[in-house]
Chain A
Amino acid sequence: MTTIMDIIRLLTETPLIFVSIAGLTWGILGGALPGISASITMALVLPFTYTMDPAQAIALLACVYIGAEYGGSIPAILIRTPGTNSSAATVIDGYELNRQGRAGEALGISLMSGVIGSLFGLAMLIMLTEPLSWLALAFTPASYFGLGILGLSVIASMSGGSLIKGLAAATVGLMIATVGTDPISGVTRFTFDIPDLLGGVEPVLVMVGLFALTELMSQSGSTNTTQLNQKIKIKLPSLAVMNRLKRSQFIGCVLGLFEGLTPGGGGSIAAFMSYNEAKRWSKTPHLFGKGSEEGVAAPEAANNTVASTALIPLLSFGIPSSNSTAVLLGGLLMHGLIPGPRLFEQSAQVIDSIYVGSFIAIIAQIGVGIIILPACIWLVNRPRPYRAGFIFALILSGIFTLNNSLFDLGIALALGLVGFLMRIAGFPVLPMILGVVLGHMVESSYRRSLVLSGGDHMIFLQDPIAVALLSIALIFVVFSLSREVRDARKTRIEEARS
C-alpha cells in the first residue's frame, strides 16, 4: 500500500501550475467530446481529487470548467455538434464559417473570445464576489419568473424565419419540461409509472438528441464529402479583427456576468442571449446565421465569462447556478469546505488557489488550445463513416455515464429521430431546447410566487427585479416581432421585383 500512497502523493503534491494546466487540458478534451458536458467532465475527474490537497483539488475543478467551456466550441464549429450545452449558440455561425472554409478563423475567434471572457469573468470574480453577493439574495421567486420569461423572449429571434414554427417547437419543449415530479405539490406527471421519468427529461438528453444525433443522421444521408477534407489551420484573429469583434465580446462578457450571478441559468442561456444581442447591436446583422464572426465571438465570450462568474454565488452563498458549479459544490463539500460568508475568512488558501489556478489556466489556454486543435482537426478529417461511428459511440457512452441508464439512451435516440423529422419539416430545434431548459424554472417560480401571494398575480408587479426583467422581455418581443414583420415585407418586395 505504501507505494500506491507514495504515487498518489507524488501526483497530487505537485505545484499549482501543473494542476491548473492538467485541469485545463482535461477540460478542453472533455468539452470537445460531444455529449460530454462541462459538468460531466468535472464529475469524471472528481474521484481523482479525493486524496488531493483541498486547495489544489478545487483549483483543478475550476480549471476543468474553464477548459470545457472553450473545448465545447471545437465540435460546435467543426461538426455542428456542441460539445457542451453552452456552446450550442456557437453552432449557428461557427459551423457556417466552417462550411465557407473558414474553420481556422472561427476556432481562433472562439479561442481568443473565450480568453477575453475568462479574464473578464475572473476579474469580476475577484472584485465582486463579496460585494455582489447581495444580488443573489435579492432574487425572490417572482424575480426568477421574470428571468425565465426573459430567457423565453428570445425564441422569436431564434426561429430562423418562421415564427409560428418556432413557437410550435418551443411549446413542445415546454411540454417536455412538465414531465416528472411536479415541482410544487410532488405529484407525478406524465411518468406512466416509469421510475426513470420521475426526475423528468434532463435537458442534456434533449440537447444531445436534437443537435448531435440529428446531425449524425443528416450527415449519413448526404453524399457530399469534399468540405471536410480540407487542411484547416488555426488562425488567431488579427488586431483588426479583434477590434471589429470588441462590441460583441463586450455584450458576451456583460451578459455572462449577469447569467453567472443569477442562479438557474448557466452558460447556455447567456450564450443564446448574447448571440441575440450581438445580432441586435451589430452593424452587419444580416450576416448572422450566414457565417458571422461576431456570432462566434459573443456566445464564446459569454460562456467563458460564466465559467468564472458562476463561482460568485457558489462561493458566497453556496448556491450553484449551473450543473457545473453543482459538481464544484460537491467537490468543496467533499473536502469539508462549506461555501458561504465564512469560507473567505477560514479557507483563504482555497480561494487564493482558485484565483491563481484560474489565471494560469486562462493564459495557458492560448497555448494548449493551439496544441490540441490540430488533434481535433485530424479527428474531423477522418473518413466520415469512421468518424460518425466514433462520435455515435462517444455520444451514447457519454449519455450512459450520466446516470448509468439505458432508458436515457432511449430518450436521446428518440429525440434524435424527432429532431431529424423536425429538420425535414423545417422546424427550428433551438426554441424547443430553450423550452425544455427554461420550462421548469418558469413553471416552478410562477407557481411558487402564487402560493406566496395566495393566488394574486400582483406579486409580479410588486417585485422590482421581476418588473425590470419582464419589461425587458416585453421590449424584446415587440422588437423582434416588428423586425420579423419588416423582414417579411422586405422579402416579399424583393421577390416581387425579381
Chain B
Amino acid sequence: MTRRFSTSRRSILAGLGVAAAGISFGGLEGCAAKYPIGKNGEEQRLNLYNWDTYTGKTTLADFKAATGVEVHMSLFATNDELFSKLRAGNPGFDIIVPSNEFVTRLKISNLLEPLDLAKIPNRVNLLPSFQNPAFDPGRHYSMPYTWLVLGIGYRKSKIDGVPDSWKWLMDSDRYKGRIGLFSEADDLMGLAAKYLGHSAHNVPPEVIEQIARMYIKQKPNIKIFHNDEGQDLLLSGDIDIVMEYNGDIAQVMVEDPDLDFVVPREGSIINSDCLCIPKGAPRPDNAHQFINFVLDAKNGAEIYNTIKYPTPNAAALALMPKEYRDNPAIFPPADRMARCEYAQFEGMKRSQFYDETLTRIFAS
C-alpha cells in the first residue's frame, strides 16, 4: 500500500472537511495565551489561514526568530471553504491565502483590507508579470504567493507517448477506466471550452450545452471525479491519467519517476494563490510584516524548495536549484503557457449555472 495521506495542498483536508465542515473554528481567540505586546503595539501573534503543506519547513520558526511574532496556522481545503468561513465574519485571521478569482470575490464582497504597500518593500522582488495583474490592479489587496496551472498528470509506462491534449481526458475511450477528472465545475467547463477551441471565459450557453453532452458521453470512461487528490490516486496506481495542478504532480514526481506532467496544447487555466489581509484582522501590522518576510528572496526560496509550486518571486527564483528552475512540470514551456488564461470570477449567476450543469452531468 503506497497510499499517503499528506503532502498535498488540498487532498486529505478535503476529506476531513467533508466529515467535519466547520468544527475547526470557534475559539480562535478564546483560548489564546497572553502574548507580549510588540513594538508596533500589537500582540506578538499572527493567525494564518493557509492550504495544507504550503509553507517551508522552517518558515514559521524563522519568522518568529526574526520578529518575535508567533504564527498560528489553520488549514483550509478549498477556496469555497475559505469564502464560506469569512462570509460569516472574520473569526480572527490576520492572513489568508485565496486563489486569484477568490481575491476578486472577497474584494467585491468587501471582505479584504487594503494593503499598505509602504510596509511591503520586498514587493520589488516580484516578477514583472505579477506586479499588476488584472484581478488586482496595482496590487492593493493581494500579494502573489505561488501560481499554478492545470494540466495532465500521467503514468509514463501506462500511457502511449505524451498525452498533450485534453482529448485523452474528455473525449476519448482510449484510457477507459483509468481517467480522473477534477470535480470543480468552473475548471471542468473552462478547460473543456479550451479543448473545443474557445476561451475559458464567457463561454456561450450553447457551448456549455455541447460540453455537458461531451462529459455525459465520456462519463463511462472516467474512473473518478476527484477533490484535488489526483496526485495520490496517480501515485497509488488507481488511475493513470488525471487532471491536476502542476505543483501537486511535481510533489509526487519526486517519489515516483514514472510520473510526469504536461500542459495540453489547447492551453489551460492558471491560478495564483495570494496573501491577503481579511477585513477585521486583529493584527494588521504583523500581517504586513509577514507578507514582506515571505516576499524576501531567501525566505521565499525556503518555501518553494518544500512546496514545489512555481514562484512569482524573481529574487527567490534566482536562489533556487536547477532541478526546480528547469523542471518542466513546475515551469511548463513558454509556448504552452502563452495559451493559458487566468481563472476569473464571472459572477454569481454563472457559478450557479456551472454547478447545476455539473449536477446534471453527474446525475445523468
**Co-assembled chains A and B:** no
Binding site for B on A (CB under 8 A): none
Binding site for A on B (CB under 8 A): none
